[in-house]
Amino acid sequence: MPEGIVVVTPQEGGRVRRVAYEMVSLAQGLAPGAVTAVTFGPEAEATASALGKYGADQVVALNGPAYQRYSSDGFALAVQALIDHVDPEAVFFPATAWGKDLAPRVAGLLQAGLASDCIAVTRGSDGRLQAVRPIYAGKAFATVSIQSQRQLFSIRPNIQAIVEHGRAGTLLPFTPSVDPSAFQAVAVEVRSQASDKPDLTEAEIIVSGGRGIKAPENFRLLEDLADALGAALGSSRPVADEGWVPHSYHIGQTGKVVSPTVYFAIGISGAIQHLAGISGAKYIVAINNDPEAPIFKAANYGIVGDLFQVVPALTAEIRRMKENA
């Protein structure tokens, strides 16, 4: 009888991403069975104790030469081999760009069901796992269970609190019997954009601008607010399409999906395609000079006003509060 959960932790930028800790915390809360985390790359072994602290009972470190750089088909074969070895009830992937590439490949190899971009996973009254995932661009939420023997889920970042379990996370020796020379595609170089701002998909606070900012140079107002708040910067799609900000800022159905605690939507009308990317935000603060803008229907707090007056005043007030704190 399959038992336990395998958590496939992301290899992005050579460090453990916060979503890895979130996934092992979530998996630990869904026991019975061991939580086995798999890590890749040069730092793989070093991450074992960190993952143990948040709920991994055992950690498989795939740190051989074949796993230093990402290969879609190669990593999928390695994960498949690990799943066959551990025989878990379920497998968690991060719903990041990396996880969205890997999870369907593994599901295909295993002929297993995959629930993608889940915002909750619980155990149903029948004892099976069930997940909640947004549908219709975030307009509705479906509760799904997977009927195949292996159940695969990709988990949206920032939906689960990190819970300390204070374990060590023992290393489980495992070498997948896959032939690295047969990997069909391997990333040859990864270029990360240098930034002192938090990653959009992991950020607690996001300051996001839309076409209401009118010109690229005006984005500086949002940068000042983001600096004062320690926030990441985002945008609606037209702002990125115009080249006012990098495409990595683009949030929504065709951009990044974010789940911050606070999302500032500034000069953004609130089109359904934009809302699809922010349905996981706990609080939405809208600043817009049109009281009829659809964003106010989605927002928890709204300021009807000219962003060119409201944003500098907000930034100044936040700076003043921080100085007096």
- Applying CB under 6 A, which residues contact ligand FAD? 210-212, 236-239, 252-255, 267-269, 271, 273-274, 277, 287-290, 293, 306-308
> Of the two residues 160 and 288, which places its CB atom closer to ligand FAD in the complex?
288
**Minimum CB–partner distance for residue 195 and ligand FAD (Å):** 21
User: What is the 3-class SS of the chain, one letter each residue?
Assistant: CCCCEEEECCCECCECCHHHHHHHHHHHCCCCCCEEEEEECCCCHHHHHHHHHCCCCEEEEECCHHHCCCCHHHHHHHHHHHHHHHCCCEEEEECCHHHHHHHHHHHHHHCCEEEEEECEEEECCCCCEEEEEEECCCCEEEEECCCCCCEEEEECCCCCCCCCCCCCCEECCCCCCCCHHHCCCCCCCCCCCCCCCCCHHHCCEEEEECHHHCCHHHHHHHHHHHHHHCCEEEECHHHHHCCCCCHHHEECCCCECCCCCEEEEECCCCCHHHHCCCCCCCEEEEEECCCCCCHHHHCCEEEECCHHHHHHHHHHHHHHHHHHC
- Residue with smallest beta-carbon separation from ligand FAD: 252
Query: What minimum distance in Å lies between the beta carbon of 249 and ligand FAD?
Result: 10
CB of 19 to ligand FAD, least distance (A): 21
- Least distance from C-beta 18 to ligand FAD, angstroms? 23
Minimum CB distance to ligand FAD smaller for 58 or for 236: 236
CB of 216 to ligand FAD, least distance (A): 13
> Of 231 and 251, which has the nearer Cβ to ligand FAD?
251
Nearer to ligand FAD, 96 or 269 (CB): 269
Nearer Cβ to ligand FAD, position 68 or 253? Answer: 253
